Structure 1
Amino acid sequence: MMMKEKKVSAAVAVLAIVMLLLVEAPKPHMGQGVSCSPLELSSCLGSITSSSPPSTTCCQKVREQRPCLCQYLQNPSLRQYVNSPGARRVATSCGVPYPTC
């Protein structure tokens, strides 16, 4: 049971860091009514940090935020998360091509 508690604690710590980074990230507006907010991708966090498949909501948000992905990759606070293997896997699972910026 001790190992499970460590995994939960680590997941909570990662979530707290990601949420802090997402809240502090700039939120400019893109064309076509898309508001770039990495916080919109919070429904994907579990799938990015584990091997669980992305939810329908997650995929919907990834598609909505697609015009913003290059901006997120250019942000030093977000780059490591958006460029992570988990984020790439989620994008692929959702049918969203990984951006080439």
Structure 2
Amino acid sequence: MKMSYIAVVVCAMVVLLLGGAEVCMAVTCNPTELSPCAAAITSSNPPTATCCSKLKEQRPCLCQYVKNPNLQKFVNSPNARKVATTCGSPFPNC
């Protein structure tokens, strides 16, 4: 249970790092989709290709995650910003 909460938090951080909130059809906003980015956000490991792909996929949801008080502190972390930059996705301005 505790691990899934950490994965959600890490996912939210990654989402914030991706950038703007472009509209994309068929995207389900679910911060757990960003779990492949957990290791990169919580350590100095570089993000994987899967992480970057998921960040880009969840881009339309990023501002929603940033506005969520439960996810905000994780999404705004320095490591989350580094992951977004490494993945080539600017941090969103919501």
Q: TM-score scaled by structure 1?
A: 0.72
Q: Distance in 2 between matches of 1:79 and 1:42?
A: 16
User: Larger relative contact order (C-alpha < 8 A, sep ≥ 6)?
Assistant: 2
Instruction: Report 1:1-101 matches (<5 A).
Output: 15-19=3-7, 31-101=24-94
Task: Specify the SS of the correspondent of 1:78.
Answer: helix
Structure 1 alignment gaps of length 5 or more: 1-12, 23-29
Equivalenced residues, count? 81
* Cα shift readout 1:61-95 (whole Å, capped 9, x = no counterpart): 00001111110000000001111111111100000
Structure 2 alignment gaps of length 5 or more: 11-22
- Contact 2:40/2:47, CA 8 A, preserved across alignment: yes
Structure 1 residue ranges (4+ consecutive) displaced by more than 3 angstroms after TM superposition: 19-22
- Contact 2:47/2:87, CA 8 A, preserved across alignment: yes
**How far apart are 1:19 and its partner, in Å?**
3.5
* Cα shift readout 1:32-82 (whole Å, capped 9, x = no counterpart): 111110000000000000011000000000000111111000000000111
